[in-house]
């Protein structure tokens, strides 16, 4: 196919701010439809549900699922059963087990399935990975802090089971760490701060080690009010300190900037999705979600003040 006819399912903040502009800026796509309960988009066919889109809508090739993870698997299975390629916003599902079902469905239906991790497409992630390849890593420190009221305003689902709380942004840091570090790592301790009126944590302190006992520490916090967000990863090596800051839009070596670029993560996502479709392949890496699942399993829960929007 020359042009991929695409539909967005779930037109909320992330679809409006990131997905739609990225699609509009890519010559390989044409946005033909949107399925959303609470929004309509001018110039395309609009439906209240994916079911209605598939039954009544224009012919499409692929769907981009921007709905909450708790409903995404059922939607992905339905779309693939109709022969559509599927991009999954992060996280790819609410559980690890359901991802394996999706993997089998994609193979059986002969379609592309893409578990997208947008932060891996930040400008300096690939360069950081290359730089670390020839160094001995001694320690990793991750600091990922932002204001939930700014980045997820009015989104009560994030505090419900499956919503992940602070791990919704924290998984972005883990997606970068699993991409740039040369060895797998695993969780050894997790301290979770959970508001008394919520089911998911508002902050988390995590400790990992890799196969040669390199310590990896992460601090996630959703309470970074009135100050800019912090999206930093620091890697101490035998040949200097690498820092990815601004979510990977800038890289520093021993405090000296190696350059800074504007965020183009979602453009990278859609380029990757198009390539996978044209190559007849899928990409379903779940390593960042596995770390979150481990934290929610092993983590010690500390009750903190109720969260009020």
Inter-helix orientation angle 69-81/96-109, to 10°: 10
Query: For residue 123, how far is the Cα from the chain centroid?
Result: 16
CA end-to-end span of the chain:
46
Catalytic site residue 90? yes
Backbone angles phi, psi at 66, to 5 degrees: -115, 20
3-state helix, strand, coil in the chain (%, to 5): 35, 30, 35
Distance CA 111, CA 62 (A): 9
CA distance 159 to 247: 23
**Given 13, 84, 90, 145, which residue is catalytic?**
90
**H-state helical runs in the chain:** 13-14, 20-24, 50-56, 69-81, 96-109, 125-133, 148-151, 167-180, 265-279, 287-298
Q: Which residues are identified as catalytic?
A: 90
């Amino acid at each position: 196919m020359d042009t991929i006819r695409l539909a967005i399912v779930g037109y909320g903040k992330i679809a409006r701010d990131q997905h739609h502009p990225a699609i509009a800026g890519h010559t390989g796509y044409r946005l033909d439809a949107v399925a959303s309960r609470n929004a309509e988009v001018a110039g395309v066919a609009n439906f209240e549900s994916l079911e209605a889109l598939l039954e009544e809508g224009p012919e499409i090739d692929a769907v981009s699922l921007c709905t909450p993870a708790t409903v995404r698997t059922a939607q992905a299975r339905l779309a693939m059963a109709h022969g559509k390629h599927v991009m999954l916003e992060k996280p790819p599902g609410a559980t690890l087990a359901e991802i394996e079902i999706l993997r089998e469905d994609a193979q059986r239906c002969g379609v592309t399935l893409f578990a997208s991790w947008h932060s891996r497409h930040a400008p300096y992630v690939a360069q950081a990975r290359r730089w670390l390849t020839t160094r001995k890593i001694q320690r990793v420190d991750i600091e990922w802090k932002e204001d939930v009221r700014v980045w997820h305003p009015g989104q009560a689902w994030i505090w419900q089971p499956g919503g992940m709380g602070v791990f919704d942004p924290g998984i972005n840091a883990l997606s970068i760490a699993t991409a740039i570090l040369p060895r797998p790592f695993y969780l050894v301790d997790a301290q979770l701060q959970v508001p008394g009126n919520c089911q998911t944590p508002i902050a988390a302190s995590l400790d990992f080690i890799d196969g040669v006992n390199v310590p990896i520490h992460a601090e996630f916090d959703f309470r970074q009010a009135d100050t800019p967000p912090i999206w930093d990863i620091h890697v101490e090596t035998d040949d200097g300190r690498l820092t990815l800051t601004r979510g990977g839009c800038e890289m520093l070596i021993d405090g000296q900037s190696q350059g800074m670029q504007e965020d183009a993560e979602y453009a990278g996502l859609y380029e990757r999705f198009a390539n996978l479709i044209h190559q007849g392949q899928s990409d379903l890496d779940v390593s960042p979600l596995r770390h979150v699942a481990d934290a929610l399993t092993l983590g010690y829960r500390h009750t903190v003040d109720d969260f009020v929007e």
